[in-house]
Structure 1
Amino acid sequence: MMDSHKQLFSLSCLPLLLLLLSGNMGMQLSEARLQRHEMNYYSPKTLFVFGDSYVDTGNYRINQAGSSWKNPYGETFPGKPAGRFSDGRVLTDYIAKYLGLKSPVPYKFRKVMQQHLKYGMNFAFGGTGVFDTSSKNPNMTIQIDFFKQLIKENVYTTSDLNNSVVYVSVAGNDYNFYLATNGSIEGFPAFIASVVNQTATNLLRIKSLGVRKIVVGGLQPLGCLPSSTATSSFQQCNSTSNDLVVLHNNLLNQAVTKLNQQTNKDNSTFIVLDLFDTFTSVLNHPSTNNIKDPLKPCCVGLSSQDFCGKVDENNVKQYKVCDSPKSAFFWDNLHPTQAGWEAVYKKLQKTSALHQIRY
């Protein structure tokens, strides 16, 4: 698909190339195009993040049930647990890098890391959704309330907001909670629609605060997470789960298209990052990214009751870690390794969606 696009592009550009080679007129056209390109280039100065454990970089409480502040989390980066649900960097670390920014400071540390506030802020809390879940952490509505309050306090100015990008992660906690509380399969499509509608409401609310570009992650293939593939000894994705994900993503794309039509003539205010196709592409071609274990998690509990990071009352590990996290896509039952996120990021770099953040 990519190769055919390149071929079409080169053929369609042939007349223009001939013209550019024909002398002064070519030079003038080239200069005009360069000026137009520079005018369209957008260099965000701040990144704001909302969502869940896929993008949480430290808001999750240290004493809370869960493992992002316990060994072996963070062993690849920064070398110790730092609140990321991975052995290292997560997606928004790479998005910040793409924008030439430092990763935004977690909301929890805003008062002790004030020198970093200029790069933006991360409001994401592991375990949360657009609605309430089993997590006691702030859902996305409350996260946006935090953001609104900081704007009210003039921590971020109109200029900061106008030169910013927002990333919103909706990685499936609402659906996990729906199933855990005996939600019916028959009612699942209607619930998916309500999650997407609430997501769209959140995106619109963020825009109303003065943000220029808002990026939302499409849902990754939940049926390929180790929590789903454990029953097949990490050999096969659950197609039923992935069919529901496709419905979510179709509705999300429709909602974002509608938002763009309603709010912005150039269709670039709201952008969807296709995590389904990028995850699937990496998992289907693992060796391209030097990944040997596409579906098997690197860090696993010793029994079905145990999990990555768990210790018993004598502080004895109830988990084991693979020899090489960089050769595994998944870190634990739900989250990618740093290597997994880097592979996804490299795939995203080849898509138009990531480029739209800058133009």
Structure 2
Amino acid sequence: MEKQRVLLFFCLLLPCSSSFLPWVSSSEGGLENVSPKRLFVFGDSYADTGNTEKSSGAWHLPYGATFPGEPSGRFSDGLVLTDYVASFLGIKSPQPYSWRNDANQTLLQHGMNFAYGGTGVFDTMAREPNMTTQIDYFQSLVEQNVYTKHDLSSSVALVSLAGNDYAAFAMKNANQEEELPSFITSVIDQLVHDLKRIKGLGVGKIAVTALEPLGCLPQLTAVSSFKNCSSNWNSISRLHNHKLHRSLQELKKNESVTGSSSSWSSALVVLDLHSAFVSALSMLRHQSGNSSENPLKPCCVGATEGYSCGNVGDKGVKNYVLCDHPETSFFWDNIHPSQNGWRTVYSFLRSSLCHLL
């Protein structure tokens, strides 16, 4: 308990601009083993660190150019949300599930990442497993005693949802305006069911992301030359987050009424990506001042219409262009933050992450 107090003390005092906490490095004889945990990750490309098929864009340069220096299956030039959460907990990023048979078994002690780019709580346009199937994979490992109940009780689950369900809904439904509210409710209901399953398997604490402002993603701001966010899509994010918070409050309320021992109040942490994205974009816009840098503009884009970041022609010709300063960008491509973007978002999430200790 005393060690946890020390962690919380440092969490409150360290500057938010720090990208990694000092006890991450095992070479420093400090706090690296203060609060050992495993991290289990479920979700989409905002959390995927290498599960997606090698044919995906994340396995082609310039993805991974900043870290680890080559493509690693991360949808960014470098680190993503999972890496920063793992670092905060003082552990290495957990191994992707698809690598489980090839990985050094000692690496499994950090947990496992089941997130796949393009997925959602339901089936989307992606071929990769949705969140229900990802939890099935996790449950299978628990039943095989790869992870024991003791392992899980001190572990954290990160549940990341970045809007793929809504993108798929928009592609499939003509009457979006009428059917959207009920669809959002179904997404939240399924998400809450997923959280219950994860906790029921024995995971001690769960961090679930609120939805980022979808209307500010470059694929939607391109029509305004990356100057204005889409109010319609941002309203979807707000409604999703409102329903999410209301459902989670109801979950905790029912716990107090029934006298349940499941301890949802202390087990559940919401990572408010919406506020973090808005704050990060505002801060970067202020820092850029009157320069030409625009945080809404992606760093890596197709050189001509029909191409995307990472696309290379038959003769090795790069069909994409990069911004001059990737290290100061917020968005890497049309959907995903750059490493700098995630580092900035992380700085606004740290106070919430403290509740995982």
Class of the TM-score when normalised by the shorter of the 2 chains: 0.7 to 0.9
Determine the structure 1 residue equivalent to 2:210. 218
Contact 2:3 2:35 in 1 (8 A): no
- Listed one character per residue, the Cα deviations across residues 199-231 of structure 1 (whole Å, up to 9, x for unaligned) are 000000101001110110000000000011000
What aligned pairs does 1:1-359 form with structure 2 within 5 A after superposition?
37=5, 43-63=35-55, 66-113=56-103, 114-183=105-174, 184-261=176-253, 262=255, 264-265=262-263, 267-286=265-284, 292-349=293-350, 351=351, 353-358=352-357
Comparing 114-123 and 184-193, the one that deviates more: 184-193
The normalised TM-score by structure 2 is: 0.86
> For the residues of structure 1 that align with 2:339 and 2:184, how far apart are their CA atoms?
29
> For the residues of structure 2 that align with 1:141 and 1:193, how far apart are their CA atoms?
17
> For the residues of structure 1 that align with 2:298 and 2:234, how far apart are their CA atoms?
19
Aligned residues: CA RMSD: 2.1
The normalised TM-score by structure 1 is: 0.85
Gaps of 5+ in 1: 1-32
Contact 2:285 2:295 in 1 (8 A): no
After TM superposition, give the deviation of residue 34 of structure 1 in Å.
6.7
**Residues 96/328 of structure 1: CA separation in 2 closer, same or farther (3 Å cut):** same
Contact 1:219 1:245 in 2 (8 A): yes
Determine the structure 1 residue equivalent to 2:28. none
Amino acid at match of 2:58: S
**Residues 130/289 of structure 1: CA separation in 2 closer, same or farther (3 Å cut):** farther
Contact 1:260 1:269 in 2 (8 A): no
> For the residues of structure 1 that align with 2:106 and 2:251, how far apart are their CA atoms?
35
Gaps of 5+ in 2: 10-33
| SS, match of residue 54 in structure 1 | coil
Contact 1:168 1:217 in 2 (8 A): yes
> For the residues of structure 1 that align with 2:46 and 2:287, how far apart are their CA atoms?
20
Amino acid at match of 2:146: V
After TM superposition, give the deviation of residue 72 of structure 1 in Å.
0.6
| SS, match of residue 167 in structure 1 | strand
**Residues 309/205 of structure 1: CA separation in 2 closer, same or farther (3 Å cut):** same
Determine the structure 1 residue equivalent to 2:16. none
> For the residues of structure 2 that align with 1:247 and 1:267, how far apart are their CA atoms?
23
> For the residues of structure 2 that align with 1:306 and 1:97, how far apart are their CA atoms?
34
**Residues 57/293 of structure 1: CA separation in 2 closer, same or farther (3 Å cut):** same
| SS, match of residue 285 in structure 1 | helix
After TM superposition, give the deviation of residue 233 of structure 1 in Å.
0.4
| SS, match of residue 266 in structure 2 | coil
After TM superposition, give the deviation of residue 260 of structure 1 in Å.
2.8
Amino acid at match of 1:190: S
- Aligned residue pairs, count: 322
| SS, match of residue 185 in structure 1 | helix
> For the residues of structure 2 that align with 1:39 and 1:307, how far apart are their CA atoms?
43
Contact 1:282 1:289 in 2 (8 A): no
**Residues 240/355 of structure 1: CA separation in 2 closer, same or farther (3 Å cut):** same
- Listed one character per residue, the Cα deviations across residues 312-333 of structure 1 (whole Å, up to 9, x for unaligned) are 2333111101121111100000
After TM superposition, give the deviation of residue 154 of structure 1 in Å.
0.7
> For the residues of structure 2 that align with 1:108 and 1:314, how far apart are their CA atoms?
31
